[in-house]
Structures are given as structure tokens and as C-alpha cells.
Amino acid sequence: MLWLFPGPRKIGHVVLDVHTMVYSLTMILLGLQAVIFGVFSKVYAVTTGLIPNPPRLERLFQWFRLETGLIVGMICMFLGIIGSCWAVGIWGQHEFQALDPVQTLRLVIPSVGMIAIGGEIILASFIFGVLGLAQK
């Protein structure tokens, strides 16, 4: 998706543009959700005694705390809000009239993605923290 941020890219006779960015964002969000689900599943399996406590999980709990997730999530959301404000500023420069959707989406897609990723990280941090209480 970042590769497409500056403009459309051509691979052979195929042109990749904002439509590919939308699908890229979808894959990024699904990947993040899969990782979060995997971590939650592992923590649940350990806390219920289904599997032994792996050392990696203990290190994860030491490194990744609620505060860490909140900070990372807020930074992601902040970047997305900045990008969104930038897009609205560009729209304002055009007196809030119709814009070229392809150019606008090139900024809006990553901005919305960062807001969604930040929100997911924040919410996952709360659940991870609750699951971690049972771990201790």
C-alpha cells in the first residue's frame, strides 16, 4: 500500500492504483486481526491449562503492557487523524467542491487504515491486559 502512495504503479501492462490500496488495507487489517486472535487464543489456552506456558508468552507479557498498546494505538490513530485533516484541508483549498477521487483516496485510504489499526490495537490491549490478569 505504501508503494502505491506516491501514485499509480505499473507492473508489465498492469496498472495498480487506489483500488489495489483498498485491497491492501483489507489484507493488512485481516492480518492484524489474525495475529491478535492467535495471541488471544494462546493466552486463553495457557490460562485454562490446555497448554504449558511458553517462555515467549511470558516475555510478551513483560514487554507488551496495556500502556504500550495504548501508546502505539494512539500514535497510529493520531497519524490517521493528521492524514484525514490533511485531506480535508486539500478539500477546503478547493472550496469543498468535488475532487479527483483517485488523488483524494490516495491519502484517505492510508489515513482511515491507520485510524482503524490504532483502534484495534487499543481495544486488543485492553483484552490482552484482562487475559494477562488471569495469566498472573
Note if the pTM is more than 0.85. Answer: yes
Of 64 and 95, more confident: 95
The x, y and z cell numbers of residue 60, run together, are: 510478551
Least confident among 60-64, 81-85, 107-111: 60-64
Q: Under the phi-then-psi rule, with left for phi > 0, alpha for psi from -120 to 50, and beta for the rest, what region is 124?
A: alpha
pLDDT at 136: 57
Of 40 and 131, more confident: 40
Rounded CA separation 2/20 (Å): 11
CA-based nearest residue to 79, from 55, 25, 115: 115
Rounded CA separation 24/13 (Å): 20
Query: For residue 60, is pLDDT > 90?
Result: no
Query: For residue 55, is pLDDT > 60?
Result: yes
CA-based nearest residue to 113, from 17, 34, 29: 29
CA-based nearest residue to 114, from 77, 71, 66, 86: 77
The residue whose grid cell reads 488471544 is 40
Buried b (16+ CB within 10 A) or exposed e, 9-30: eeeeeeeeebebbeebbeeeee
